[in-house]
Amino acid sequence: MVARVKFQGSTAHRARHGDRRERVLACSFVSDYLRELFSLGGRRALVTGGSSGIGYAMAEAIGRAGAEVVIVARREAPLDEAVRALRRHGVTASAISADLADQVAVRRVCDAAGRIDILVNDAANNIRKPMAELTLDDYEQTIAVNLTAPYLLGQHFGPRMAERGWGRIINIGSQQTVSAFGDSGVYGVAKAAIGGLTRSQAEAWSPRGVCVNTIIPGFVLTPLTAPAQAIPGRVERLAARHMAGRNGVPADFAGAAVFLAGDASAFVTGQMLFVDGGFYVH
């Protein structure tokens, strides 16, 4: 409840100035409340796939909410540009270049990242072939990036978060986490497993303050979905399948990132949050 302030002066003066001052006080009260609920000040986040797409959008949102951000991706030039963009928003940001298909590189990320309070596993690849045409190499590459890397990063950072009594892990799933869609292939296998990984991590570490959740996107216009976007008419058909009447964009994930990364989600763990414009239920 916002306290009201009694202003002196004429009725006309109060009419001109009193209401505005009360509105200022109310806004200050709300800002303090939201800051307490959603601020990530003092936290440190590691975001894989953070140089573009959903990963960058989540890194920016988490950083602008106050956390220091470390982003991970393969290519150095996009990483450098992403760090510059984050810093333009006032975010304390740095980058680690690594191919997360390589377990040695994953271990290097763990060693280089230092203390991490918020882990976002967004890095992904998607080899889009009919199921019968997938090779063993396709399988191994897909599982390595989409499942093994999140598992290994969680195995490193999760117990350390639990020791400190606070942590957040956000795994990025897919519509393929819950259903077959669009040549799911091995990508579908890996993303289905991400749902199970989230539940197992939540079971292991939530009693010690570590909340673990999966975000399920709809069809989002990012570099990862570029091959699907190139098929004539596909973007329009997918937009129509969303209840929202459009495809997703990376900025749609900012609010969910801040919510799941902070204290506001302290009683949310082991869950799948569908940020999909109603795609799954349409």
pLDDT at 27: 63
Tell whether the model's pLDDT for residue 17 goes beyond 70.
no
- 151 a catalytic residue: no
Tell whether the model's pLDDT for residue 16 goes beyond 60.
no
Q: Average pLDDT of 156-177?
A: 98
Catalytic residue among 56, 151, 187, 280: 187
What is the residue extent of each domain of the chain? 10-39, 42-275
Burial 250-276 (b: 16+ CB within 10 A, else e): bebbbebbbbbbbeebeebbbbbbbbb
Q: What share of the chain has pLDDT > 70, as a percent?
A: 89
- Model confidence at 31, pLDDT cuts 50, 70, 90, reads confident
What's the mean per-residue pLDDT of the chain?
92
Q: Average pLDDT of 124-139?
A: 95
- Model confidence at 37, pLDDT cuts 50, 70, 90, reads very high
Cα four-point dihedral sign 135, 138, 142, 143? positive
- Model confidence at 249, pLDDT cuts 50, 70, 90, reads very high
Tell whether the model's pLDDT for residue 2 goes beyond 60.
no
**pLDDT one-digit tens code per residue, 93-117:** 999 999 999 999 999 999 999 999 9
pLDDT at 25: 57
Cα four-point dihedral sign 199, 200, 205, 210? negative
pLDDT at 282: 86
In sequence order, the β-bridge partners of residue 36 are: none
- Model confidence at 150, pLDDT cuts 50, 70, 90, reads very high
Tell whether the model's pLDDT for residue 1 goes beyond 60.
no
pLDDT at 32: 86
How far apart CA 250 and CA 220 sit, in angstroms, is 7
Class of domain 42-275: alpha beta
Q: Among 63-67, 115-119, 128-132, 271-275, where is mean pLDDT lowest?
A: 128-132
- Model confidence at 5, pLDDT cuts 50, 70, 90, reads very low
pLDDT at 182: 79
Cα four-point dihedral sign 227, 233, 234, 240? positive
Tell whether the model's pLDDT for residue 26 goes beyond 80.
no
Listed as own residue / partner, the contacts of 128-137 with beta carbons closer than 8 Å and 24 or more positions apart are 128/182, 128/183, 128/185, 128/187, 128/227, 128/228, 129/183, 129/185, 130/183, 130/185, 131/183, 131/185, 134/185, 134/186
- Model confidence at 224, pLDDT cuts 50, 70, 90, reads confident
